[in-house]
Amino acid sequence: MTANFLTIDAVRSALQERRLTATALTESYFAKIEKQDGEIGAYVTLSKERALNKAAAVDELAAKGDPLPPLAGVPVGIKDVMVTRGVRTTAGSKMLGNYIPPYDCTAVARMEAAGVVVLGKLNCDEFAMGSSNENSAWRPVHNPRDLGRVPGGSSGGAAAAVAAEMAVAALGSDTGGSIRQPASFCGIVGLKPTYGRVSRYGLIAFASSLDHIGPMTKTVRDAAILLQTIAGSDPMDSTSHPATVPDYVAGIEQPVRGLRIGVAQEYFGEGLNHEVRIAVEAAIQKLAALGCEIVKVSLPHTQYAVPTYYIVATAEASSNLARFDGVRYGYRAEARTLSGMYRKTRDQGFGMEVKRRIMLGTYVLSAGYYDAYYLKAQKVRTLLARDFDDAFTKVDAIVTPTTPTAAFKLGEKSDDPLAMYLADIYTVTADLAGIPAISIPCGETKEKLPIGLQILGKHFDEVTILQLADAYEKAA
C-alpha cells in the first residue's frame, strides 16, 4: 500500500511532536464524515462530545510534554454491536433504536485507556447477521470503492469507514467472517483473533461460542497495535483466555523465511471466482519468493462448515436474542396481553433475517430435533477443528482466499439467503475452530474491486499470521 493515509504511528508521532493536535485531527475526521458519509452510510451514531473531550485530554498531555499512550488521539469507529456508556448502541436493529447502555465494552474501554478517540458507532447488519450490510435496520452501507456494491458484512460500516478514511481504524466483530469478508470487499486489513484472546464483555451477543472482536485497519502493523491493546484475559468474561499476550508489534518484524505455508484444495474448488483464484495464487507465489515453503494440506470436513455454522450460530442466537422482549429496555409494541406484547414487539422490532435465524435456531434446539441438528453440528465442529490441528502439525499457517468473489452489487443476493450464506464459505471455518485469521488485500479485479488473502494460524499464534501478512504487505 502506497496510498497517502494516516496510520496509528503517524498520528502518534505528529501529536508527540506537536505538529498536530488531537482536537484538530478529530474535527477533521468529523468534517470528512460530514462530507462523505451521506453516500456511504458507515456511521449510525456520532459521539462528538465524547470524542472531543477525549481529544482535549490527549492535547493536554501533549502540551505538558508527557509521553503519550500508544494510541493517543487515534480516531476510531466502533461497530454498533459493542456497547458504549452513554452513547446509543443499536446493533443495527430497530429493537435497540433508543438504547443507551450504562457501561462500556471491555475492548472499547481498553482502547480508550490507550488513548483512542471514539468518533462514533458504525453501521452493521442487524445483530451482526448478514454478509452485505443490507440487513441494517437503518440504511445499507455502500462500498467506498464502488458505491453500487456492498461493503460486505456484517462489519460493513467499519470496513467502509476505514477504507474511506473516515476513521484510522475500527473495531469489528466476526462470527462467521464479519471482519474478514468486509475487509476483503473494501480492501483493508481485518483480523479475527483466537477465540478467548479478546474479551467479549459488552459485545452484544449473536452466537456466543463464535463471536470475536478484532481490529480493522489500513495496515497489518496497525492491526497488531490494536490487538496488543485489546488482547488479554478479562475477569468479566469467563471465556477470555489467561495466556500471556506476546509482543505482536515486535513479532511482525521477524523474518518469514522458512515458515511453512499450507494450501488446502478445499478452498480452491467450485464457486471460486477466476480472478480471485489468480490473485490468491499469485500471492502464494509471492510468499514462496519470500522464502516460505508451500505445503499441500487437506481439510476434509470443510464442505460441512457452512451448514454446521448455520446450526450452531442460529441456535445460540435464538437464545441470545430472547432478552429483547420489550419488558425492560429497547423497543416495545403496545398490546393488551403479555403474550401479545411479546409477539408484536419481536415481530416489529426484528428484521426479516434476524427472525429467520431465530426460527431456524429455535427449530434445531427443539425437543426431538436437538440430537439430529445441534448435537450433530457440535460433533462436526469438533471434526473441523481436528482438521486444522492435523494440518498445523505440518505447517505454520494456511493461506486461502477470504471470499469466493469480490464485492457484489447491492440487492444482488438480498432475496437469496442461501447464496448470501455462501459468501462466508471460506471464513466460517476459523470461527468454528476458534483459530486466528487475517484478511489482507492482494490485488484487484479488472473492475478495480479489492481481493482478499486470508491467512489462518494456530490457536493463540496471531504473531505468525501477522508476520506473514506484514511481509506480504511490504512486498506487494
Partner 1 sequence: MVFKLPPDAPHLQYEPVIGLEVHVQLLTATKIFCSCSTRFGDPPNTNTCPVCLGLPGALPVLNRKAVEFAALAAMVLGCRINETSVFARKNYFYPDLPKGFQISQYDKPLAESGGIEVPTSQGNKKIGITRVHLEEDAGKSLHDGFAGSDTTAIDLNRSGVPLIEIVSEPDIASPQEAYEYLNRLKEILVYTGVSDCNMEEGSLRCDANISVRPRGQTTFGTKAEIKNINSFRFIRDALEYEISRQIEVLEAGGTITQETRLYNPDEGKTYSMRSKEQAHDYRYFPEPDLLPLLLNAKRRAEIQSMQPELPEALRNRLIAEHGISAQDAAVLTSNKMLADQFERAAKAAKNPKRVAGLVQNELMGRLKAKGLAIEHSPITMDGVALSADLVESGAISGKMLKDLYDLCFERSQDFPDVYEQTGRPQQSSDTSALEKIVREVFAANPKQREQYRGGKETLHAFFVGQVMKASKGQANPQLVNRLTRYPGRVPATGDKVEIEGRTGQFEVVSVDEEHWQAEVRPLAGADASELALWSLLRLVAY
Q: According to CB under 8 A, which one of 63, 250, 288, 322 is a site residue for partner 1?
A: 322
Q: According to CB under 8 A, which one of 91, 111, 220, 432 is a site residue for partner 1?
A: 91
178 is catalytic: yes
Rounded to 10 degrees, the C-alpha dihedral 277/280/284/290 comes to: 150
95: number of Cβ within 10 Å = 27
Query: Could you identify the residue written with the cell 456497547?
Result: 83
94 is catalytic: no
> Which one of 54, 79, 192, 218 is the catalytic residue?
79
Q: Tell me how far, at minimum, the Cβ of 101 lies from partner 1, in Å.
A: 7
Choices 157-165, 242-250, 364-372, 457-465 (CB under 8 A): range interacting with partner 1: 364-372
> Which one of 155, 178, 199, 233 is the catalytic residue?
178
Nearer to partner 1, 36 or 209 (CB): 209
Q: Tell me how far, at minimum, the Cβ of 230 lies from partner 1, in Å.
A: 15
Choices 8-16, 361-369, 434-442, 444-452 (CB under 8 A): range interacting with partner 1: 361-369
93 is catalytic: no
Q: Decide if residue 237 touches partner 1 (CB under 8 A).
A: yes
Task: Tell me the site size for partner 1, rule CB under 8 A.
Answer: 44
Nearer to partner 1, 80 or 470 (CB): 80
Q: Which residues pair with 439 in a beta bridge?
A: 190, 454
Query: Could you identify the residue written with the cell 411479546?
Result: 342
Q: Tell me how far, at minimum, the Cβ of 202 lies from partner 1, in Å.
A: 4
Contact between 207 and 312 (Cβ < 8 Å): yes
Q: Tell me how far, at minimum, the Cβ of 103 lies from partner 1, in Å.
A: 5
Q: Tell me how far, at minimum, the Cβ of 45 lies from partner 1, in Å.
A: 15
Q: According to CB under 8 A, which one of 25, 96, 226, 423 is a site residue for partner 1?
A: 96
Task: Give the contact letters, 300-319, x = binds to partner 1 (CB under 8 A), - = no.
Answer: ---------------xx-xx
Nearer to partner 1, 304 or 329 (CB): 329
Nearer to partner 1, 108 or 395 (CB): 108
> Which one of 154, 173, 240, 318 is the catalytic residue?
154
Contact between 229 and 71 (Cβ < 8 Å): yes
Q: Tell me how far, at minimum, the Cβ of 141 lies from partner 1, in Å.
A: 22
Q: Decide if residue 82 touches partner 1 (CB under 8 A).
A: yes
Q: According to CB under 8 A, which one of 65, 235, 242, 271 is a site residue for partner 1?
A: 235
Q: Decide if residue 372 touches partner 1 (CB under 8 A).
A: no
Q: Decide if residue 345 touches partner 1 (CB under 8 A).
A: no
Q: Tell me how far, at minimum, the Cβ of 378 lies from partner 1, in Å.
A: 8
Q: Tell me how far, at minimum, the Cβ of 366 lies from partner 1, in Å.
A: 6
Query: Could you identify the residue written with the cell 518469514?
Result: 256
Q: Decide if residue 365 touches partner 1 (CB under 8 A).
A: yes
Nearer to partner 1, 149 or 200 (CB): 200
| Apex 292 CA angle, 169 and 220, nearest 5 | 5
Q: Decide if residue 338 touches partner 1 (CB under 8 A).
A: yes
Q: Decide if residue 348 touches partner 1 (CB under 8 A).
A: no
Q: Decide if residue 238 touches partner 1 (CB under 8 A).
A: yes
Q: Tell me how far, at minimum, the Cβ of 185 lies from partner 1, in Å.
A: 26
Could you tell me the end-to-end alpha-carbon distance of the chain, in angstroms, rounded to an integer? Answer: 8
Instruction: Return d(Cα 135, Cα 39) in angstroms, integer.
Output: 17
Nearer to partner 1, 324 or 426 (CB): 324
Q: In the 3-class helix/strand/coil scheme, how is the chain assigned residue by residue?
A: CCCCCCCHHHHHHHHHCCCCCHHHHHHHHHHHHHHHHHHHCCEEEECHHHHHHHHHHHHHHHHHCCCCCCCCCCEEEEECCECECCECCCCCCHHHCCCCCCCCCHHHHHHHHCCCEEEEEECCCHHHCCCCCCCCCCCCCCECCECCECCCCCCHHHHHHHHCCCCCEEEEEECCCCCHHHHHHHCCEEEECCCCCECCCCECCCCCCCCEEEEEECCHHHHHHHHHHHECCCCCCCCCCCCCCCCHHHHCCCCCCCCEEEEEHHHCCCCCCHHHHHHHHHHHHHHHHCCCEEEEECCCCHHHHHHHHHHHHHHHHHHHHHHCCCCCCCCCCCCCCHHHHHHHHHHHHCCHHHHHHHHHHHHHHCCCCCHHHHHHHHHHHHHHHHHHHHHCCCCCEEEEECCCCCCCECCCCCCCHHHHHHHHCCCHHHHHHCCCEEEEEEEECCCCCEEEEEEEECCCCHHHHHHHHHHHHHHC
Q: Which of residues 187-216 bind partner 1 (CB under 8 A)?
A: 200-205, 207-209
Q: According to CB under 8 A, which one of 27, 48, 52, 99 is a site residue for partner 1?
A: 99
Contacts to partner 1 by CB under 8 A: 82-83, 89, 91, 96, 99, 101-103, 105, 200-205, 207-209, 235-239, 315-316, 318-319, 321-325, 327-329, 338, 342, 362, 365-367, 370, 374
Residues labelled as active-site residues: 79, 154, 178
